[in-house]
Chains A and B, each alone.
Chain A
Amino acid sequence: MSGDKDLDQLKKEAVAKAKAAAAAKRKAKEQAESGAKEEVSPAGDDLAKQKADAVAKAKAEAAAKRQAKEEAESGAQEEPPTADDLAKQKAEAVAKAKAAAAAKRKAKEQAESGTSDEAPAAEATGNDADDLAKKKAAAVAKAKAAAAAKRKAMGQSEPEEEASAGDDDLAKKKAEAVAKAKAAAAAKRKAMGQAEPEEEAPAGDDHLAKKKAAAVAKAKAAAAAKRKAMGQAEPEEEASAGDDDLAKKKAAAVAKAKAAAAAKKKASEGGAASGDDEKAKAIAAAKAKAKAAAAAKAKAAGKGAAAADTPEEPKQPSPNQKYLDKYVEIIQKHLGEDVLEDSYINNLSKDVPTLVAKQDSYYKIAEFLKFNESLSFDYLSEIHGTDFETHMEVYAHLYSYKNRQSVALKVKIDRDKPEIESLARLWAGAEWPECEAYDLLGIRFTGHPDLRRIMLGEDWIGHPLRKDYEPYDVEV
């Protein structure tokens, strides 16, 4: 709590400072402009005017401050809402933001159009019978601007969502809320002194898809920053937010990093050994680079096989090799040559024969494994999903009580559109585990009798076991 208070204090101070600075600026401008016209006007008059201005401004500032404080307080009160209150509050917040944005625009327009009445309503005409609503709006706008300034002062680029007017579609609101939460989280991290990758602010664009993409990009960037902060050398993922060939880029980045590391090492070695043998160094660096590039290439090529690598040169064939050969043979005989993406013995996992199915033949193979007389894998021991960042994967461990043999069936699915046929029609035992995978990873199992968020509940935002998951918490 005390940390929050400190932050508040800091914020307030920042606001005050920003205000003072803005006021000074304005004053200087005013003076410069009026000075051009009224250079010879009596000083006393000027002074009186300035004084009045100052008083009015001070008043307005105080009002704005109060407003800001109130807002902050009401915001604090808003924090722990009950589930059905949330939507309402969200809507309110959005409405407020919109109003504020409108007010802001208005104020801006006024400021731009009226060089003569430089001081906008709330400031100069503080004692006039100006209508209250306008003042309030202006104050809110100011508070918002102040908040923005505050955040800016803290080094965060503001996503300027307030500017988005119009659409009151719920999904959008949700997306906004998520984005805001993310931004807040980012700010927090920032405050904690972590380096933040550049976030481009998609200013004032009310196109939903774009926004969503931006939010995702941000989340990714945040996640990347997090990882970075944890000391892991990370390829520049944030750059490839909308990019298709992630793997390629990653590989390139890895190659770069490797080359750099190699060069560094080499450099240090060279420095220790022979002082200024620059040529040799350069050659070494080039060599390292080439090596890294080659490695990256190899890696990129082998990326298809991804997480589980086939044993390059098995010293002695696994005792389960004959089973694997048998499964593959029977499957290919009955279902065709191209239903399997890969098949290998997983040496790390007690030599379990592992089949990697192609996405469109996954269900077919599972069905075949269950019902084929000579295979009869009648028991589903386990099914779960994994997010490998380049793709999602579903892993099922089957067992045949008749043949006393295990097999692992895997399938890779598209991470952006994680959808795969459900096995619940074959094994009723797959029902809940598939719900779990849906809940925690967002994999949709088509043909599932009752796909629901079994652990977290339907109102949970995001899928926690995804690697880019950012927790959304109304209280943060």
Chain B
Amino acid sequence: MIRTEEILLNVGPQHPSTHGVFRLVLTLDGEVITDAKPVIGYLHRGTEKIAENLQYTQIIPYTDRMDYVSAMTNNYVLVHAVETMMNIEIPERAEYLRILAMELNRVASHLLWWGTYILDFGATSPLLYAFREREMILNLLNELSGARLTFNYMRVGGVKWDAPEGWIEKVRDFVPYMRKMLVGYNELVSGNEIFLNRTKNIGTYTKEDALNYSLSGVNLRSTGVKWDLRKDEPYSIYDRFDFNVVTRDAGDAFARYECRLEEIEESLKIIEQAVEQFPQDGPFMAKVPKIIKAPKGEAFVRIEGSRGEIGCYIASDGKKEPYRMKFRRPSFYNLQILPKLLIGENISNLISILGAIDIVLGEVDG
């Protein structure tokens, strides 16, 4: 006689496939997941509470530590919110520097995802290639901001540093190199049969599900919703660039894989155009008051980050610190759909499904 019983399996909080401190309590019936309960909060640092006692410029480094894989976009959402409230005109050169920094960071973020996602399946060499290219981007951003990950680069009214001499040329040279590498990536992984077996028709959800669960970014676009805040609610100077919003209709893990890889290509397009249009000179910082005080009232802005919609809500009482600050962190929202995707799945698909959502735990926990 065969004895069967449900098994409670604890994944994490320290587990390589969770990409951070994330815990998942699974109930298994054989190999099939019957229940999944995500446990988060291990990396909660209370950024929003801390921010209430800091001046706006002092908050910027804290945003670096939310989505630490794509810190530039976090920097931007904060300064963008303050600038929106204060109605500050940003100098051209600063806008271009911001765009370049953000798009380079987006590429780096997608590269990290690509490498580690394939690594989760057991393929080690793609990670090395991805990190080789990512390293070049980090070096570029390091030259720009003085840091490899926690850039602290943007300021209300502009950016902290102008581009060093020769930097624009380096970025220009990087674009064709990265394009060439992308071809290699596709040849190496995208057609691999084992990889396809592990991603196609895995973790599928519909457009309605995606909207219902407040998914954003690639997680939303992989279901066919053509929605990119850079295109649809253009902020900064994104309306000057010609690029496509990448979508897929399948809504499975492979669709998300394809979207991300193609988004690298679209980001390269933006970088290329920004380098071409880059103003020869001009200030990189607007004239802003020494002590920044957002006017009394509230504002909510959202931008397209690497993982989806990053929002920043500020309630100000006219002081130099925000009265209340709230970040809409895309990974936090995107992760909500996980139990729905896991229940009924085979446990071997867990890694594929979780990895395809692309979470950063610093952002989930805030």
At the interface, yes or no: A308 with Cβ under 8 Å from chain B? yes
Q: Which of B218-273 contact A (CB under 8 A)?
A: 225, 227, 232
- Find A384's partner among B41, B216, B313 (CB 8 Å cutoff): B313
Chain A residues with Cβ under 8 A from B41's Cβ?
Answer: 454-457
Give the shortest distance, in Å, between B280 (CB) and chain A (any CB): 31
User: Closest CB-CB distance, B229 to chain A, in whole Å?
Assistant: 10
Inter-chain CA distance A378–B211, complex, in Å, is 7
CA A349 to CA B233, docked complex, whole Å:
13
B333 at the binding interface (Cβ < 8 Å): yes
Contact of A348 among B48, B49, B216, B297 (CB under 8 A): B297
The prevalent SS among residues of A at the interface is mixed
Given known A-B contacts A384-B326, A386-B315, A432-B336, A395 and B211 have beta carbons under 8 A apart = no
Contact B298 A387 (CB under 8 A): no
For A408, give its contact among B40, B215, B300 (CB under 8 Å): B300
Known contacts A309-B297, A348-B297: A381-B302 contact under CB 8 Å: yes
Give Cα distance in the complex from A346 to B295, angstroms: 12
Q: Do A429 and B212 touch across chains, with their CB atoms under 8 A apart?
A: yes
A238 beta carbon closer than 8 Å to chain B: no
Report if B324 contacts A (CB, 8 A): yes
Given the known interface contacts A348-B84, A395-B313, the answer about A455 and B295 at a Cβ–Cβ threshold of 8 Å is: no
- CB within 8 Å of B: which A402-457 residues: 404, 408, 427-433, 436, 440, 454-457
Within 8 A of B (CB), among A343-378: 346-350, 352, 378
Q: How far is the CA of A401 from the CA of B326 in the complex (A)?
A: 24
CB-CB nearest in chain B for A347: B297
Q: Does A83 contact B (CB under 8 A)?
A: no
Tell me whether B299 is interfacial, beta carbon within 8 Å.
yes
A307 part of interface (Cβ distance < 8 Å): yes
**B44 / chain A contacts, CB cutoff of 8 Å:** 455-456
Residue of B46, B85, B297, B311 touching A381 (CB-CB under 8 A) = B311
Find out whether the CB atom of A429 lies under 8 angstroms from the CB atom of B214.
Answer: yes
A465 close to B (CB within 8 Å)? yes
| Binary flags per residue of B305-333, CB closer than 8 Å to A gives 1, else 0 | 00001010101010000011010100011
Q: Does B363 contact A (CB under 8 A)?
A: no
**Complex CA distance for A432 and B333, rounded to whole angstroms:** 7
Q: Give bound CA distance, A428 to B213, whole Å.
A: 5
Contact A349/B225 with A384-B313, A386-B315, A454-B41 known, Cβ cut-off 8 Å: no
B155-201 contacts to A (CB < 8 Å):
none
Shortest Cβ gap from A454 to chain B (Å): 6
Q: Which residues of B lie under 8 Å from residue A457 when comparing CB positions?
A: 41
Note all chain A residues with C-beta closer than 8 A to B85. 348-349
How many Å lie between the Cα of A84 and that of B48 in the bound state? 30
- Decide yes or no whether A397 CB sits under 8 A from chain B: yes
Interfacial chain B residues near A465, Cβ < 8 Å: 48-49, 324
Cβ of B227 and Cβ of A401 under 8 Å apart? yes
Pick the residue among B48, B213, B225, B295 that contacts A429 (CB under 8 A): B213
Q: Is the CB of B299 within 8 A of A427?
A: no
Q: Which residues from chain B contact A346 at a C-beta distance below 8 Å?
A: 297-299
Taking a contact as CB atoms under 8 Å apart, the answer to whether A307 and B298 are in contact is yes
A379 to B315 CA separation, bound complex (whole angstroms): 23
Asked if B23 is at the interface (CB within 8 A of a chain A CB), the reply is no
B365 beta carbon closer than 8 Å to chain A: yes
Q: Would you call A428 and B298 a contact (CB within 8 A)?
A: no
C-beta contact mask, B20-46 vs A, less than 8 Å → 1, else 0? 000000000000000000001100101
A235 at the interface (CB under 8 A from B): no
Q: Report yes or no: A382 in contact with B300, Cβ–Cβ below 8 A.
A: yes
Question: Could you say which residues of chain B place their CB within 8 Å of the CB of A120?
Answer: none
CA gap between A433 and B301 in the complex, in Å: 17
Return B313 CB to nearest CB of chain A, in Å: 7
With contact pairs A349-B84, A387-B324 given, residues A455 and B366 touching in the complex (Cβ less than 8 Å): yes
Q: Are B300 and A352 in contact (CB under 8 A)?
A: yes
User: Would you give the 0/1 interface string for B328-362, flagging 1 where the beta carbon is closer than 8 Å to chain A?
Assistant: 10001101110000000000000000000000000
A464 on the B face (CB < 8 A) = yes
Smallest CB separation, A11 vs chain B (Å): 31
Q: How many angstroms between the C-alpha atoms of A380 and B337 in the bound complex?
A: 14
Q: Complex Cα distance A79/B44, Å?
A: 23
Given A429-B213, A465-B48: A307 and B297 interface contact (C-beta under 8 Å): yes
From A350, A408, A433, contact of B84 by CB (8 A):
A350
Q: Specify the chain B residue showing the minimal Cβ separation from A378.
A: B211
Task: Kindly list chain B residues whose C-beta atoms are within 8 Å of the C-beta of A428.
Answer: 212-214, 336-337
Residues in B neighbouring A455, C-beta threshold 8 A: 40-41, 44, 365-366
B296 touches A (CB below 8 Å): yes
In the complex the two chains form, is A307's CB within 8 Å of B315's CB?
Answer: yes
Check A381 against B309 for contact (C-beta < 8 Å): yes
* A214 to B: closest C-beta gap in Å: 26
Q: Of the candidates B40, B211, B332, which one forms a contact with A379 in the assembled complex, judged by CB atoms under 8 Å apart?
A: B211
A428 to B215, CA, bound (A): 10
Q: Which residue of A lies closest to B312 (CB)?
A: A382
The residue in chain B whose Cβ has the minimal distance to the Cβ of A384 is B326
CA distance A352 to B297 in the complex (A): 13
Shortest distance from the beta carbon of B267 to any chain A beta carbon, whole Å: 23
Cα distance A435–B311 in the bound complex, in angstroms = 18
Question: Contact between B46 and A464 (Cβ–Cβ < 8 Å)?
Answer: yes
Once A386-B315, A395-B313 are accepted as A-B contacts, the answer to whether A379 and B299 lie under 8 Å apart by CB is no
In the assembled complex, which residues on chain B have CB atoms less than 8 Å from the CB atom of A386?
Answer: 315, 323-324, 326
How far apart are the CA atoms of A350 and B300 in the complex, in Å? 8
From B43, which residue of chain A is reached at the shortest CB distance? Answer: A455
CB–CB A379/B84 < 8 A? no
Chain B contacts for A387, CB-based, 8 A: 324
**Of A348, A381, A432, which is in contact with the most chain B CB atoms at under 10 Å from its CB?**
A348
Residues of A within 8 A of B211 (CB): 378-379, 401
A431 and B302 contacting across the interface, CB-CB below 8 Å: no
With both beta carbons as reference points, the residue of chain B lying nearest to A469 in the complex is identified as B49
**Distance in Å from the Cβ of B127 to the closest Cβ of chain A?**
30
Whether the Cβ atoms of A382 and B311 lie closer than 8 Å is yes
B214/A430 in contact, CB under 8 A: yes
Decide: B297 and A308 in contact? CB cutoff 8 A.
yes
Are A350's CB and B48's CB within 8 A?
no
What residues on B are CB-neighbors of A352 within 8 Å?
300
CA distance A43 to B337 in the complex (A): 92
Complex contacts, A348 vs chain B, CB 8 Å: 84-85, 295, 297-299
Let me know if B212 and A427 touch, CB within 8 A.
yes
Interfacial chain A residues near B296, Cβ < 8 Å: 307, 309
Q: For the complex formed, measure the closest distance between the CB of A440 and the CB atoms of chain B, giving whole angstroms.
A: 8
Give the complex CA separation of A454 and B313 in angstroms: 20
Whether A349 pairs with B302 at a CB distance below 8 angstroms is no
- With A and B bound together, what is the CA distance between A91 and B135 in angstroms? 56
With A and B bound together, what is the CA distance between A288 and B276 in angstroms? Answer: 60
Closest A residue to B232 using CB positions: A404
23 contacts between A and B (CB under 8 A): A309-B296, A346-B297, A346-B298, A347-B297, A349-B85, A349-B298, A349-B301, A378-B211, A380-B214, A381-B216, A397-B300, A401-B227, A404-B232, A427-B214, A428-B213, A428-B214, A429-B213, A432-B332, A432-B333, A440-B49, A454-B41, A455-B44, A465-B49
7 tightest CB-CB pairs across the interface, nearest first?
Answer: A429-B214, A349-B299, A455-B41, A455-B44, A382-B328, A348-B297, A348-B299
Beyond the given A429-B333, A429-B336, please list 7 additional residue pairs across the A-B interface where CB-CB is below 8 A. A346-B298, A382-B300, A382-B326, A386-B315, A395-B298, A432-B332, A456-B44
Name A's B-contacting residues (CB within 8 A).
307-309, 346-350, 352, 378-382, 384, 386-388, 395, 397, 401, 404, 408, 427-433, 436, 440, 454-457, 464-465
